[in-house]
Structure 1
Amino acid sequence: MSYIKPAELVTRMADAGEYKLKLSARDTLIRAYMGAALLTLGAAFAVTVSVQTGQPLLGAVLFPVGFVLLYLLGYDLLTGVFTLGPVALYDRRPGLRFRGLLRNWGLVFLGNFLGAFTVAILMAIYFTYGFSADPSPVGHAIGEIGHSRTVGYADHGAAGMLTLFVRGVLCNWMVSTGVVAALMSDTLIGKVVGMWLPIMLFFYMGFEHSIVNMFLFPSGLLLGADFTLGDYLLWNELPTIVGNLIGGLTFVALPLYATHRIRSEKRTPLSGATVPRSRTRRPAASAAPVVASVAAEA
């Protein structure tokens, strides 16, 4: 089938979340590192296109390249596991505990930061000929993004902090929708289209994504932009992470699970069809190939 109905989609989300929470620390870190690296290369590409063409919409249309590649390759972002991990816990998958969820989030955060910061260093070298010249126009634009989206919020005080938080919420509403959309289809083109649409929307609207910001703001600091590390942490990264967490849980994970989870004990047979009375989950070891396949798509 090329389209997966919502009830089966929620089961796939829980399978993917369970798989990710049971990954080793080594695999979690590698996948998080590579996921952020690909995403932030896509962000650098989008900013380059926007600056060189003067068309921000074109940059937004092309930005999802990195996101699509990282999820097709089975890598991870913190914003994605903010949604998939809790679904597995809601579904009471055997062996999962809240502390395991926190462990996963911590490892993915660390891997994402290292991957994004690596790209920030490489791109800063690229924009300045190895720090031997002033930043290129694209490098200058990245520095201005860092300034306007830290000091710019601070200038508005509490209203600026509220705006930053709301942009974080809206961002992961879209990003987590893209993560889930990768599970809606069993065809490559279906997955790509499903991921592309919400990611394009979030980037063009200027919502705040904690992982993209792990690249943009350290890049700005390396390129001499007029804001500090404290500005970045207080007036962007930390509130953005909280907003991303709440956005993914409140507007993606909880609504889908609440209304579409399969209640096996309440199912009734369809007319003319034989339906099993319940769905028995396989033990984790025997289900691993199937779960791994689903998780790789998420």
Structure 2
Amino acid sequence: MSAGYAPTIDTYATLAAAKAAAWRRSPVGFFAGAILAGTYIGIAMILAISAAAGLPPGVRPLVMGATFGIGLILTVFAGAELFTGYVMYLGFGLAKRTISYGEAITLATVVWLGNLVGGVLLSAIFAIGGGGAVFANADTMFNAYVQHKVEADGIALFARAILCNWLVCLAIWTAARMKGDAAKCIAMAWILLAFVAAGFEHSVANMTALTLGLMAPHPVIDLAGTVHNLVVVTAGNTVGGLVFVVFGYMLAARTDAATAPAAD
């Protein structure tokens, strides 16, 4: 683990600049990477719901949390552009002035839209394939799961979204400060278990879950509720990453020991 916080902050500030350069080199390629992240998180969402669908209600949150980690592991190790992680990258990039506000807004918007396309695409393919255990057990779990997301009070959604991306960004931050791929995978999966099992709201995961709710044989949600959820949760995810990770660690980095000047 790195001594001090500044090296990790600098890593992500540099990464933000690299992402901006990647967008300039190939907008199409960059957007493809964002689509992939949407599908990876969507796969994790489908896996989590499928694994928990036939289980007693009291066990479902833990099983969903234990299986969801594959989404972030695929995103980090296979490589893809995930909105919730970008909140942290771009936040540190702005704080360290490695990117401009215009670049940050452009990247965040493009990645969010790419994630949405990926989630919708995956949902469509999964629905055409029959919907597996998700649709088969819709009356016992899935319908209530997505209804809860669209019917929740906006303030409650916003608060749960803040908590969610605090943990997602912490998972990425923590992994960067560890050595060994196995340790990184374990840390990310364990931290994501916390947000899923606790019922927090992840905008990109919701893109798949709510799209499936719209595509189910007997939909129990509507487009207006889906849009409301995604708008509120995206805002909460943004606040969670910026305030509790970016701002928090920028303050914490003030405790780092000053770098000694080089000898003449």
Q: TM-score, normalised by structure 2?
A: 0.89
Name the structure 1 match of 2:18: 19
Aligned runs of 1:267-278 on 2, under 5 Å?
267=258, 269=260, 276=262
Q: Is the 8 A contact 1:13 1:183 kept in 2?
A: no
- The letter of the residue matching 1:258 is L
- The letter of the residue matching 1:167 is R
Quick one: distance in 1 between partners of 2:80 and 2:254? 26
- The letter of the residue matching 1:145 is Y
Quick one: distance in 2 between partners of 1:36 and 1:17? 19
Aligned runs of 1:1-298 on 2, under 5 Å?
3-5=1-3, 6-24=5-23, 25-54=27-56, 55-56=59-60, 57-93=62-98, 96-128=99-131, 135-137=135-137, 141-151=141-151, 153=152, 160-223=153-216, 224-234=218-228, 236-260=229-253, 267=258, 269=260, 276=262
Deviations 1:78-137 (CA, angstroms, capped at 9, x unpaired): 1111111120121122xx2111111101110111001111111122223358xxxx9311
Q: CA deviation at 1:4?
A: 2.6
Deviations 1:266-293 (CA, angstroms, capped at 9, x unpaired): 8353xxxxx538xxxxxxxxxxxxxxxx
Q: Which is further off, 84-93 or 52-61?
A: 52-61
Name the structure 2 match of 1:285: none
- How well do the aligned residues superpose, as a CA RMSD in angstroms? 2.2
5+ residue gaps, structure 2, are: none
- The letter of the residue matching 1:23 is A
| Matched residue SS, 2:8 | helix
Quick one: distance in 1 between partners of 2:50 and 2:117? 22
- The letter of the residue matching 1:185 is M
Q: CA deviation at 1:261?
A: 6.3
Q: CA deviation at 1:18?
A: 1.8
Quick one: distance in 2 between partners of 1:142 and 1:247? 27
- The letter of the residue matching 2:116 is F
Q: Is the 8 A contact 1:47 1:138 kept in 2?
A: no
| Matched residue SS, 2:54 | helix
Q: Structure 2 vs 1, CA of residues 128 and 43 (structure 1 numbering), >3 Å: closer, same or farther?
A: closer
| Matched residue SS, 2:135 | coil
Quick one: distance in 2 between partners of 1:168 and 1:59? 17
Quick one: distance in 2 between partners of 1:78 and 1:188? 22
Q: Is the 8 A contact 1:79 1:172 kept in 2?
A: yes
| Matched residue SS, 2:79 | coil
Q: Structure 2 vs 1, CA of residues 50 and 268 (structure 1 numbering), >3 Å: closer, same or farther?
A: closer
Quick one: distance in 1 between partners of 2:103 and 2:139? 39
Q: TM-score, normalised by structure 1?
A: 0.79
Q: CA deviation at 1:11?
A: 1.6
Q: Structure 2 vs 1, CA of residues 217 and 118 (structure 1 numbering), >3 Å: closer, same or farther?
A: same
Q: CA deviation at 1:253?
A: 0.9
More helix by share: 2
Q: Structure 2 vs 1, CA of residues 229 and 186 (structure 1 numbering), >3 Å: closer, same or farther?
A: same
5+ residue gaps, structure 1, are: 154-159, 270-274, 278-298
Name the structure 2 match of 1:280: none
Quick one: distance in 2 between partners of 1:101 and 1:244? 15
Deviations 1:247-267 (CA, angstroms, capped at 9, x unpaired): 00000011112221698xx83
Q: CA deviation at 1:138?
A: 5.2
